[in-house]
Amino acid sequence: MSLLTGQLEHSLRNVFAQNPHLVRYLDEWIRSGRESPRYMEQLSRELRYERRVNIVYPVGDPIFIHIYSRGPGLRPMYVIVQPAGGIKLGKLPEIVDELLIDLIDESIEAEDVEGREKALREFLRKVVEIRPGIPLGEYVAVDKRSKKIAVGHETYKALEYKLVMDKVRFGIIEPFIRDPYIEDVSCDGLGPIFVEHKVFGSCESNIRFDSEDELNEFVRRLSERSGRPVTFRNPIVDATLPDGSRINIVYGSEISMRGSNFTIRKFTDKPLSITQLIKFGTIDSMIAAYLWMLLEHNMSIWFCGEVASGKTTLLRAVCTFINPHYKIISIEDTPEVIVPHDNWVREVTRESEEAATIGLFDLLKAALRQRPNYILVGEIRGREASVAFQAMQTGTPVLATFHAGSVEKLIQRLTGSPIEIPKTYMDVLNCVIIQSVVRVPRTGSFERRVLSVNEVVGYDPLEERFSYIELFTWKPGEDAHEFRGEGNSHLLENRIAVMKGLSRSELRRVYRELELRARLLSRLVEFGVFDYFRVWRVITQAYVVGVEQIMDLVESGERPWERS
């Protein structure tokens, strides 16, 4: 019996019984004199505050992740525990490939991923059989006539895993793709791959490239899977992987001193919900309620901040506030934006040497002819901003992300060269959200926060200055958002109240509605309603029966998020 087996809790015995590679790894870990790691099915954000980490968690059978702290000043180590890990297969994979050549035909390429994986497993069973007693990593010929070999059970599982990973999945980076806690994967060239973990921050992985030829071959295959192959003539590629993740590839050593490199930014099919962002402290319920009111009344909002500040995440989350019956067009270089609406046109730019290149500018112009209720632009960087402002001028609201650290910088970039939006047009952009990654004094950790919510009032040509109102401000000391309060919102009082037909004496009603929506969102957080589509279900019902009635249902014990 191994040292590990005697330490297992009964509830975990099935997990370890089905994954001998995990048992072997942990047994070696404990025998080396190190502390036994905790096994967790799910990770909590609170774990980020622990001084020392030593945790194992699953990311889909048969892959497990072991994260542990190292010495002072060193990143945590991110170790992938998988069937092929630690087993020296030698020439076995090449031998199996030769045996499979006569069985595999091109017809399986037309199947989906699951179909190809199933076919490969069936073919492997025809050429490799399992026999007890054969040492790990070794094989024997079944007989001289048949093209078949025999291996031990764990060797077979390692072969099967490696075959599926290399032929069907993403190879050595498949575990990163499966891990829901990974935000970014970074291969800087030869050496280890680094990951940005949602809980534990920047980690160094045990996956590495030590051969330039191996790295180049992997990068070529990865680019082909994305549909935008790299070449020495076209060494830089931005693309989307089949799972929706965004990838940037730089190929070869001519422009990259450490050789080929790639960065993967992961996006899930189900975005973070607005209630999750409230729970995380990125925004508060009042800001969320305010954005709900703006989007219900067709206001244009731009989400600004530095790289990886959470702009796209917040944009995706607030899309649930847009009228469920609206037609939406999203325009992006790489598809990241997801909306829950049925009437949604999703358009992506095209870069091609053979055909005409289609950029954001072209797609935006085309979108104006499609009569959308909302246009969503993944990221505005250049002259397409002028088309976005033309859309807003003609009454089509636009949601977009933009790289700017303040309202002043945003205006400076928009009105300066090369975009050159007329200064008097700036008031068609109703609201600007400024976001950033900041160190929270209370915990010392780095978190994403909305720093300010700003209403653009307009441009005074006589004084030559722009006027805007900072309606919400993040207070670092309290890690809380401050609302300037009733009587300070230009959009609520001079735009939305007018649309609702309220007189100046009735302005208080618009603030009461803001508070009601904030209370509803807070109650959803209290009830643990964090699923993106459950939140969408509540918002959709609120559009039908009204926010007040939905609030009454919630307070009476009803669960509108569970209704179909």
Measured between alpha carbons, how far is 465 from 192 in angstroms, rounded to an integer?
A: 51
Is 158 in contact with 89 (CB distance < 8 Å)?
yes
Residues facing 185 on adjacent strands: 195, 264
pLDDT value, residue 85: 73
Q: Which residues contact 355 (CB under 8 A, 6 or more apart)?
A: none
pLDDT value, residue 204: 97
pLDDT value, residue 8: 47
pLDDT value, residue 9: 55
Helix (H, G, I), strand (E, B) or coil at 460: strand
Residues facing 346 on adjacent strands: 330
Number of other CB atoms surrounding residue 327 within 10 Å: 15
CA torsion sign, 62 to 167 to 117 to 158? negative
pLDDT value, residue 5: 47
pLDDT value, residue 225: 84
- Flag residues of the chain having pLDDT under 50: 1-3, 5-8
Measured between alpha carbons, how far is 41 from 56 in angstroms, rounded to an integer?
A: 8
Domain 274-497 in CATH 3.40.50.300? The answer is yes
Q: Which residues contact 72 (CB under 8 A, 6 or more apart)?
A: none
What is the total residue count of the chain?
Answer: 564
Q: 128-131 long-range contacts, Cβ below 8 Å, gap at least 24? A: 128/96, 128/99, 128/156, 128/159, 130/156
Residue found by looking up tokens 């509803």 in the block: 520
Please give the model's pTM, rounded to 2 decimal places.
0.81
Helix (H, G, I), strand (E, B) or coil at 277: helix
Domain regions of the chain by residue span = 92-164, 274-497
Is 511 in contact with 492 (CB distance < 8 Å)?
yes
Measured between alpha carbons, how far is 455 from 313 in angstroms, rounded to an integer?
A: 21
